[in-house]
Amino acid sequence: MSWRGSAGDRARGPLPLDEAFLSLDELVPLLLPDLPDLVDEEAGVRSRVIGYDVTTPVELDIVVDEQGRVRLGGTPPIYHVDTSTLPVFHSVRLVAVREASSP
């Protein structure tokens, strides 16, 4: 897979994220499950997950520097407490498929 428009380091830079947030390149792999095949030897059945479609609310930290460059940080909802003023929940959806080369 290739995401078009490798913008190089243009969008990078020393933009610090809030420490409670992960950069998206750290967050996205963590949202992908890592399950082995499910094997039922008695039934002689092996099941495997061939894809995921994950939709989850996220909190975002969108940092903008003086040149307008943006850095994105995200985290699943941090607090599970009902408060009078809730954080803003954005949403991310990931569709992942098992690589053909995977065993």
Partner 1 sequence: MSSNAAWRLEDFVDSLVVELDKTRETLAVKAINKPLSYSVKEVALDVNTFPSYDGERVRFLTAQPGEEGASKLTIQLGSITDQQVRASTKVREGEPTPSIEELGVDDETRKELRRIGVRSVDDLEALEARKVDLKAVSDVDIDYGQLARKIQKARRSRSAPAIDGMSLSTSDGEPCLLVEGRNLSVDPTFPPVAVVDDSLAEVLSSGPGHLSIRIDPRSPLHADSQVVLTLDPYAVVKVNVKA
Kindly state the smallest distance separating residue 81's Cβ from partner 1, in Å.
13
Q: How far is the CB of 45 from partner 1 (least distance, A)?
A: 18
What is the end-to-end Cα distance of the chain in Å, rounded? 19
3-class DSSP state for residue 27?
A: helix
Interface residues with partner 1 (CB under 8 A) are 1-12, 16-18, 23-26, 28-29, 32, 34, 36, 51-52, 60-64, 68-72, 85-99, 101-103
Radius of gyration of the chain (CA): 18
Closer CB to partner 1, 40 or 55, in the complex: 55
**What's the CA gap between 47 and 31, in Å, rounded?**
21
Of the pair 34, 42, the CB lying nearest partner 1 is at 34
Residue 55 · residue 91 · CB < 8 Å: yes
Q: Which is nearer to partner 1, 34 or 40 (CB)?
A: 34
